Structure 1
Amino acid sequence: MEESTSSPTTQLGLIEQSFNCRYSRWVREALDELPESFTITDPSISGHPIVFASRGFLKMTGYSREEVIGKNGRVFQGPRTNRRSVMEIRQAIREERTVEVSLLNYRKDGTPFWMLFLMSPVFGKKDGRVINFVAVQVPIYAKQRRNGARFSDGGSGLPEVVLGSCRREVCSDSLLDFGLVLSLDTNPRESENDEIELSEASDLNKQRALGAINNILSVLTHYSESTGRVVCGKRCCLPGAGFLSSSLNISLGRIKQSFVLTDSQLPDMPIVYASDAFLKLTGYDRHEVLGRNCRFLSGEDTDSLTLYQIKQSIHGERACTVRILNYRKDKSIFWNFLHISPVRNASGKIAYFVGVQIEECCKNQDINGLNPDRRQLSAVGAVKIAVRSSSMGAGSSLS
């Protein structure tokens, strides 16, 4: 699979767009008025990054918004972060449900801290799919053992909630796929060698976290109404055809090649997923692509025989590779080395078709030691694994 060539500025632009097209532009100011420490993530964007961090969160962590937005939570974990808690959160994301755990993480200066972590999904009211995850962090008391003696926090007031440092040893894709894990501040003078023991979160801590979640959801619901894309804190309807689960979105986001996924079960086979690389190649925003048939990339000089060849391959449920003239959003043309392949779910039924694009001017480049054909087949294979794994997980969660 290719490495992403998107610049940090491009990624931040995608993140801003994903948030702004769902909510009114005034939502950021309203969220910043809330005193709680919280973050909001978007599972539909590659890497499941943080798309909003509250002003209170930034003040307590010492990070700037630019240092937080676009980051995935795994980079803020450390060697003593409890993997069982991490997996519990990961499973909740896969099952698109609320989770509450006590979690040890690391602040910017490398100090470990405890917090009560409450994460809840935000659903689209019309289609029932998960739009965002909201995570609230509430400080809890921690105990420490230093030089063999145990003691409780002796400072004045509650410890603060803070974000952990980037640690090379936990920046692996094999870890958590969420952008929410934060940490609890204690005494900044505590050394890395101290053993920190967790005290149980109180009922007051839990009430504070739940109250904060409700306040945030109220703001998001209100500011989504003006866009006509209303969200809610509970799934108001069952997801229909074309719905992609959060876990599938996250898995597809790891594939850096330019590709789209279309739903073969829906009329006109609309696009249900578009990679960041595809958006960069074509110049379109994600919301301008989803729900449309791929023919919108064609124009007056696109060869009709090539389009017919694609149509026949889809009807015959077989793969094909073509060279086709396509058009970007700005009407500029490019030659597209396109590979299309059916994608089957865990039951063996064709659920999607994947189209992988390589611009012809880049066709002769070997990336990661792979020629264009190999890169396309690698992307197709990764998509098939993601879809089958997701459909297997969905089946087991419903049984």
Structure 2
Amino acid sequence: MINSSLASARPTAQMPSIDLELEAKLASFNQVCFAISSARDPDMPIIFASSSFYELTGYGPEEVLGKNCRFLHGPDTSRQKVMEIRSAIQEERSAQVCIRNYKKNGESFWNHFYLEPIFDESRVVEFYIGIQADVTEEVETARLAQTTISDDVPLMLTDEPSCADVRMSEERLAARLRSMLSQWHKSGSGADLVRHVSGPAAAPCMPTSLLQPLMKLVQSFVLANPKEPECPIVYASQRFLDLTGYPRDQVVGRNCRFLQGPATNPADVQRLREGIAAGGPVTVKLLNYKYDGTPFWNHLHVTSVRNACGKVVFLVGVQLDITAPQTIPEEAVAAAPAEAGRKPDQASGQEVLIQAAEPTRRALVAQRGVCGAVRVACRSLCPSAGLRRSVDDQGMLRRSQDFSARASTDVCRVPPPSAKAAA
């Protein structure tokens, strides 16, 4: 048996971590098998698991915290059931499935799995609760009773009284956890339920269903909301933060012009504005500045992104640093420290071999690829329906209609940037 001290082991410095006081309160539910995942971090890592979860699966905290729950999958895990769970996440709704999972020792078990999204006050998903129940005995009993059943035919587990009891029990537990998390957040003591130590910068209003696929893209890019004044950034990838050096809290809510500096060519900026206003894709080469004042050549491609309803919801700007084969103007290097108010890294104005043609062609291909991936991700913002629900999930009240209504409206509004950010 896993003792409670192991169950409360903390994530490493590179993982999102839950508030310690909240973690202690969640430990009061340790007799129930469940895990909580952060919906706002890449790959939705587990940030808390009950001691019963460790006992059922055989895994330890160091093998669970910071990981996606797919480590429970195995060779006979139904792909259809996995897709039903993913569809529920995309539609930000609850779901129940009976799925074959695997323990650490390789032993399989039937998991009656309940998924419940937890929303913040802005109706944005902040967590997902996953409640597990081992119903292997009930499933095997059903198999014996249904002599003609095949592996390709779903089990009618809703006809089993024991599974109906499991369903109601999981729903009641999810309601209790949801209530506790909501009260904790409203109390003010849980202003930061989860500490995010890395990852992209995203406006709080970004739908989780869009955020997760965006976080899988490794290139440098930003999304901006063209319907808001000043076209503020609502999402910036981790690579963008790495490239520019800007902290996460100084990007969202600002117009991209903060990258411009004294030697940025106004004609190039005007060409960019005209291209955006014309509604077509536009590519320019700009001399931009990093957070520390270091100038760099930015091969920038900007295009509009529409949802499945044909409505423009974002502008996507994809950046590529092509400084290496270029010459940075000396006046830009000299002006950088004064413009940024900080000491820049060593930047040289020495002439180097110019090899811009090949990198630029590659950059354009890569940038168009990012734009295509963003367009695919944004199709979920105007869904017609999710995957057909399994018989395990029929008869439950869901939020798919509510999600469709929210997603078809303006996607993301951000508050005006702070005085510090606007400076």
Asked whether the two chains share a fold, i.e. TM above 0.5, the reply is: yes
C-alpha deviation, 1:252, in angstroms: 2.1
2: CA distance, partners of 1:373 / 1:246: 29
Please name the residue that 2:24 is paired with.
Answer: 29
1: CA distance, partners of 2:14 / 2:365: 28
Alignment partner of 1:212 is 2:145: no
Relative to its length, the structure with more helix (as a share) is 2
1:280 to 225, 231, 242: 242
2:126 to 104, 111, 131: 131
Conserved? CA contact 1:221–1:230, under 8 Å: no
Please name the residue that 2:88 is paired with.
Answer: 92
C-alpha deviation, 1:119, in angstroms: 0.9
C-alpha deviation, 1:362, in angstroms: 7.0
Report 1:102-121 matches (<5 A): 102-121=98-117
C-alpha deviation, 1:132, in angstroms: 2.0
Give CA deviations for 1:241-271 in whole Å, capped at 9, x if unaligned: 9954333223323322121111112222222
Between structure 1 and structure 2, the one with the greater Rg is: 2
Conserved? CA contact 1:114–1:198, under 8 Å: no
Q: Supply the AA of the counterpart residue of 1:351.
A: V
- Counterparts in 2 of 1:390 and 1:37: CA distance versus 1, 3 Å: same
Query: Unpaired segments of 5 or more residues in structure 1?
Result: 1-10, 152-196, 232-240
Q: More displaced, 280-289 or 314-323?
A: 280-289
2: CA distance, partners of 1:351 / 1:68: 36
Please name the residue that 2:305 is paired with.
Answer: 343
C-alpha deviation, 1:129, in angstroms: 1.9
Report 1:1-399 matches (<5 A): 15-16=15-16, 24=19, 26-35=21-30, 36-125=32-121, 127-142=122-137, 200=160, 201-225=162-186, 226=188, 243-284=205-246, 286=248, 288-300=250-262, 302-329=264-291, 332-361=294-323, 371-393=362-384, 398=404
Q: Secondary structure at the match of 2:319?
A: strand
Q: Supply the AA of the counterpart residue of 2:26.
A: L
Conserved? CA contact 1:143–1:150, under 8 Å: no
Query: How many residues were matched structurally?
Result: 323
C-alpha deviation, 1:341, in angstroms: 1.2
C-alpha deviation, 1:137, in angstroms: 1.4
Conserved? CA contact 2:138–2:163, under 8 Å: no
1: CA distance, partners of 2:218 / 2:123: 27
Question: How high is the TM-score relative to the length of structure 2?
Answer: 0.64
C-alpha deviation, 1:379, in angstroms: 0.7
Conserved? CA contact 1:139–1:205, under 8 Å: no
Between the two structures, name the one with larger relative contact order (CA 8 Å, sep ≥ 6). Answer: 1
2: CA distance, partners of 1:310 / 1:14: 37
- Counterparts in 2 of 1:65 and 1:299: CA distance versus 1, 3 Å: farther
Give CA deviations for 1:51-73 in whole Å, capped at 9, x if unaligned: 43344423543333342234333
2: CA distance, partners of 1:265 / 1:392: 21
Conserved? CA contact 1:27–1:219, under 8 Å: no
1: CA distance, partners of 2:292 / 2:169: 49
Q: Secondary structure at the match of 1:265?
A: coil
2: CA distance, partners of 1:206 / 1:94: 22
Q: Secondary structure at the match of 1:269?
A: coil
Q: Supply the AA of the counterpart residue of 1:292.
A: R
Aligned identity (percent) is 35
2: CA distance, partners of 1:73 / 1:391: 28
Q: Supply the AA of the counterpart residue of 2:369.
A: S
2: CA distance, partners of 1:254 / 1:203: 37
C-alpha deviation, 1:372, in angstroms: 1.9
- Counterparts in 2 of 1:221 and 1:333: CA distance versus 1, 3 Å: farther
Q: Secondary structure at the match of 1:292?
A: coil
Give CA deviations for 1:224-246 in whole Å, capped at 9, x if unaligned: 33278699xxxxxxxxx995433
- Counterparts in 2 of 1:212 and 1:375: CA distance versus 1, 3 Å: same
Give the superposed CA RMSD: 3.8
Conserved? CA contact 1:143–1:198, under 8 Å: no
- Counterparts in 2 of 1:82 and 1:300: CA distance versus 1, 3 Å: same
1: CA distance, partners of 2:323 / 2:84: 45
2: CA distance, partners of 1:230 / 1:380: 33
Query: Unpaired segments of 5 or more residues in structure 2?
Result: 1-10, 146-154, 194-202, 326-354, 387-399, 406-423
Q: Supply the AA of the counterpart residue of 1:376.
A: Q
C-alpha deviation, 1:122, in angstroms: 1.2
2: CA distance, partners of 1:85 / 1:208: 21
